Amino acid sequence: MMSKVLFEQDGEVGIITISDPPLNLFGLELIAALITATAEAQAAPIRALLLRSEGEHFTAGAQVDEVFGGLTEAEGAERIEGFLELAQRTERLPFPTLAAVRGLCLAAGLETVLTLDLIWASDTAQFAFAEPIIGLTPIIGGAYRLAARVGTGRAIETVFRRGRIRRQRSPSGASSIVCCQTPSSTRSRSRSRTGSQPARRSPATSPRNCCAPTARKAWPQPTG
């Protein structure tokens, strides 16, 4: 049986592909495969990592009944701890990380891409926290990471009102969540190659700091 998440290399670029269309829902099997793929990426001799998905939507969120159904409070807390560990591991990867998003990127998906350094989105991309529908707020730090990109007020509104952040630029700064827009007709799997020098992080890549990471990394310096 084919894994729902695959890791592969293209030269010095690692690629993690979520592959359970049409909605790429985060169930237990997919989450476990994502943890494995992230560990493979961390151990691989790569200098950058791309996270992408198959299908028209990045992900519509988690399979809530499967992930949390029937758990006691203690069991639920333990499961959330595992998700936090994955988010922190992803955030601390020692090389530049990029998410390529189109279509829906909801709840667990938005929490995941916010742990990466950069988000590139098609013009169809929509981002939202769906957790308030079931009486929750983002559980692995997504609200704080979103605030770092779009501002506290916008983040609070998005969480409380289940508002969607669309890719199109607007005076409210909604597009600050992403760093680059690509047409929806662009081939879903474009291969990027790094140059002879790794990308260098600047504290602020735009006046609104839209590409600011949520955690500082000590990227390795090139050798040889």
- How big is the chain, counted in residues? 224
> CA dist 132 to 91, 128, 137, 140, 157, Å?
25, 10, 6, 14, 12
State the Cα torsion 61-64-68-73 to the nearest 10°: 90
Percent of the chain with pLDDT over 70: 74
Q: Nearest to residue 187, comparing CAs of 48, 50, 54? A: 54
Which pLDDT does position 211 carry in this prediction? 42
119: alpha, beta or left? (left if phi > 0; alpha if psi -120 to 50): beta
pLDDT tens figures, 173-202: 445 677 776 676 544 444 444 444 444 333
pTM of the model: 0.77
Cis status, amide bond into 138, omega within 30 of 0: no
Q: Where are the domains of the chain?
A: 5-182
User: Cα angle at 33 between 62 and 113, to 5 degrees?
Assistant: 55
5-182 CATH pick, 3.90.1150.10, 3.40.50.10540, 3.90.226.10, 2.40.50.140: 3.90.226.10
Which pLDDT does position 150 carry in this prediction? 86
pLDDT tens figures, 16-33: 999 999 999 999 999 999
Give the residues of the chain that fall short of pLDDT 50: 169-174, 186-216, 224
Which pLDDT does position 221 carry in this prediction? 53
